[in-house]
Amino acid sequence: MIAIFDIQHRGKPGRRAGEMGAGFDFDGDGVIETHEQEAYLTPIYAGAASERLAVVGEKVVFLEYGTYAERHAKAIQIARSTSEPVAYIACHLNAGGGDYGIILHDDRSVNGHRLSKHLAAALRAGFTVPRVTTKGTAIAGTWKRAHTTIAGIYDGPENLTGVCYEPAFIDKHAHLLTPEGLGAIGKALAAGVLAWSNG
């Protein structure tokens, strides 16, 4: 199995260069600093997941540069180079005051739905967000913005499956987004990917 962790919001070109995604003033000093932004925090949980997967001999690839379409093309290239299952995880944190975790998959993808379910179950078991849900995304509809994070993955080979992973809200679950909490998210992410690849 190969896990691809795409640190989205980091490394975008052009007018989006320097974007860091959502932010929240954790320490209340009136300034949202780098360490209080999504693209600083998501690599911490992705790194913890990578460490856990490495222990059991699974391969991990990080993507951090380019447009989403370019990253999706890279994921397709990786998947075409192997017969192993490939899980593409668009790494995010949510914002807007919600009180849940969510994993989103392309609503055409049966395997994406299955990966979402495994990731949600592992997050429920290993990390204390009040609830975790899964949703299908489409080009139009409620989750069309989330769909852009994985839009090109469905066009890849059958061994490639993608989800948008948003385990917590940066502006609601700040108390959970500590180094320890992010480590727990990462362990849950690894457990969910492993369960999917073994199932």
Q: What is the pLDDT of residues 90-111, one digit of tens each?
A: 999 999 988 899 999 999 999 9
| pLDDT of res. 166 | 95
Neighbouring-strand partners of residue 137: 106
| pLDDT of res. 28 | 86
| pLDDT of res. 127 | 73
Both structure tokens of 34: 């780098």
Start-to-end C-alpha separation, the chain: 12
Output the CATH code of domain 2-198: 3.40.630.40
DSSP code for 34: G
Both structure tokens of 185: 């998210």
| pLDDT of res. 122 | 95
Give residue 189's identity as a one-letter amino acid code.
Answer: L
* Low-confidence residues of the chain: pLDDT under 70: 14, 16-17, 128-130, 140
| pLDDT of res. 130 | 67
Tell me the three state secondary structure of residue 136: strand
DSSP code for 169: B
Per-residue pLDDT reduced to its tens digit, 62-81: 999 999 999 999 999 999 99
Q: Break the chain into its structural domains and give their ranges.
A: 2-198
DSSP code for 10: S
- Counting residues of the chain whose pLDDT is more than 70, the rounded percentage is 96
Return d(Cα 136, Cα 147) in angstroms, integer: 9
